[in-house]
C-alpha cells in the first residue's frame, strides 16, 4: 500500500476515533469512511478545529506564543484599562499583571491600595495581598493576612491558600509551618502541596519525612493518568529533582 494511502487512512481512523470519544453523531463515521478525503476535510473544519480552539492545551500554546511575541501585552492592557477606569477590579488586574512580570514591589503597592478602602474585607483582594507580600519577602505579614482571611472566610482554608500559609510560615516559624503543611495536605492535598512539603522538609534536614512525601508524589504520578501528569508536570519535576538530591546526599534524619 502506498505511503500516501496509509497516511490518508490513518487520518480517517484518527478522526473516527475522535468522533466516537467526543460523542459526535454516528453519521460522521459514515461520512469519514465513505468519502475519506472530503469527509476528513469537512470534519477537520466543522468539528476538530473548533474543539481545539477551546481545549486547554491549545489555550496554553496560544498563551505561550503570545507571551513570546509580545511579553508585555497583558501588563500594557491592564495599565491602559486602569488608566481609563480606575476601579478596584482594574487595579487588582493591574496588580496581578505586575506580579506576573516580577515587578513585585509595584504589585504589592497596588494590592495594598485595593484593600485600603471599603473593600478591605474582600476575599479576592486579600488573597492577592498575601501573594504580593510573599513575593517581596514579607512572609510574616502574608501569614497574618491569610490567618485573618481564614478567620473571616473558613472555606478559603480548604483551597490553595492553605498551602500559601504553610509556605509563608516556613520562612517564619518552623513548628507552625509543620502544622500548617499537615493541614494543607488534608485540606488541599494536591501534588503541588505534597511536593512543596517534601521539598521544604528536605531543606530543613528532615530527610526521612521528606523522602516519604516525595516518594508519594512520584508514586502517584506513575499511577496517574497522562493528563494528570501533564497538569502537575512542574511539581513532579521538582519532586524528582529533590529526590535526586536526597539520594546524592544519602543518610536519613527523622
Q: What CA–CA distance (Å, rounded) separates 206 from 66?
A: 42
Residue 37: how many CB atoms within 10 A of its CB? Answer: 10
Residue 24 included in any domain: yes
Query: How many distinct structural domains can be found in the chain?
Result: 1
The x, y and z cell numbers of residue 115, run together, are 484593600
Question: CB–CB of 126/92 below 8 Å?
Answer: no
pLDDT at 216 over 50: yes
0.75 exceeded by pTM: no
pLDDT at 6 over 70: yes
Question: Which pLDDT score is estimated for 62?
Answer: 45
Residue 60 included in any domain: no
Q: What CA–CA distance (Å, rounded) separates 186 from 182?
A: 7
The x, y and z cell numbers of residue 201, run together, are 522538609
The region of weakest confidence among 71-80, 145-154, 167-176, 210-219 is 71-80
Question: Residue 26: which domain range?
Answer: 3-53
Residue 46 included in any domain: yes
Residue 18 included in any domain: yes
Q: Which residue has the higher pLDDT, 48 or 212?
A: 212
* Secondary structure (DSSP) of 217-228: HHHHHHHS-HHH
Q: What CA–CA distance (Å, rounded) separates 181 from 163?
A: 7
Residue 150 — pLDDT band, cuts 50, 70, 90? very high
Residue 202 — pLDDT band, cuts 50, 70, 90? very high
Residue 63 included in any domain: no
Residue 136 included in any domain: no
* Secondary structure (DSSP) of 48-111: IHHHHHTSHHHHHHHHHHHHHH-TTHHHHHHHHHHHH---HHHHHHHHHHHHHTT-HHHHHHHH
Q: What CA–CA distance (Å, rounded) separates 225 from 16?
A: 23
Residue 233 included in any domain: no
The mean pLDDT value of the chain amounts to 87
Residue 84 included in any domain: no
Residue 65 — pLDDT band, cuts 50, 70, 90? very low
Q: What is the pLDDT of residues 51-60, one digit of tens each?
A: 665 555 445 5
Amino acid at each position: 500500500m502506498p505511503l500516501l494511502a496509509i497516511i490518508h487512512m490513518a487520518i480517517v481512523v484518527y478522526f473516527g476515533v475522535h468522533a466516537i470519544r467526543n460523542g459526535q453523531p454516528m453519521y460522521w463515521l459514515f461520512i469519514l469512511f465513505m468519502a475519506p478525503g472530503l469527509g476528513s476535510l469537512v470534519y477537520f473544519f466543522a468539528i476538530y478545529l473548533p474543539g481545539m480552539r477551546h481545549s486547554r492545551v491549545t489555550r496554553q500554546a496560544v498563551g505561550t506564543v503570545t507571551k513570546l511575541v509580545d511579553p508585555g501585552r497583558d501588563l500594557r492592557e491592564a495599565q491602559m484599562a486602569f488608566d481609563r477606569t480606575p476601579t478596584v477590579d482594574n487595579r487588582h488586574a493591574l496588580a496581578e499583571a505586575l506580579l506576573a512580570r516580577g515587578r513585585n514591589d509595584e504589585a504589592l503597592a497596588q494590592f495594598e491600595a485595593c484593600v485600603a478602602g471599603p473593600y478591605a474585607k474582600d476575599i479576592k483582594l486579600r488573597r492577592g495581598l498575601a501573594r504580593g507580600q510573599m513575593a517581596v519577602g514579607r512572609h510574616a505579614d502574608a501569614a497574618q493576612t491569610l490567618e485573618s482571611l481564614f478567620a473571616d472566610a473558613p472555606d478559603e482554608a480548604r483551597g490553595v491558600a492553605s498551602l500559601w500559609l504553610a509556605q509563608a510560615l516556613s520562612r517564619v516559624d518552623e513548628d507552625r509551618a509543620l502544622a500548617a503543611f499537615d493541614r494543607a495536605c488534608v485540606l488541599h492535598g494536591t501534588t503541588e502541596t505534597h511536593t512543596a512539603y517534601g521539598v521544604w522538609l528536605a531543606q530543613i534536614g528532615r530527610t526521612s519525612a521528606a523522602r516519604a512525601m516525595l516518594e508519594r508524589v512520584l508514586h502517584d504520578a506513575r499511577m496517574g493518568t497522562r493528563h494528570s501528569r501533564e497538569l502537575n508536570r512542574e511539581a513532579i519535576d521538582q519532586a524528582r529533582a529533590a529526590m535526586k538530591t536526597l539520594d546524592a546526599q544519602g543518610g536519613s534524619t527523622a
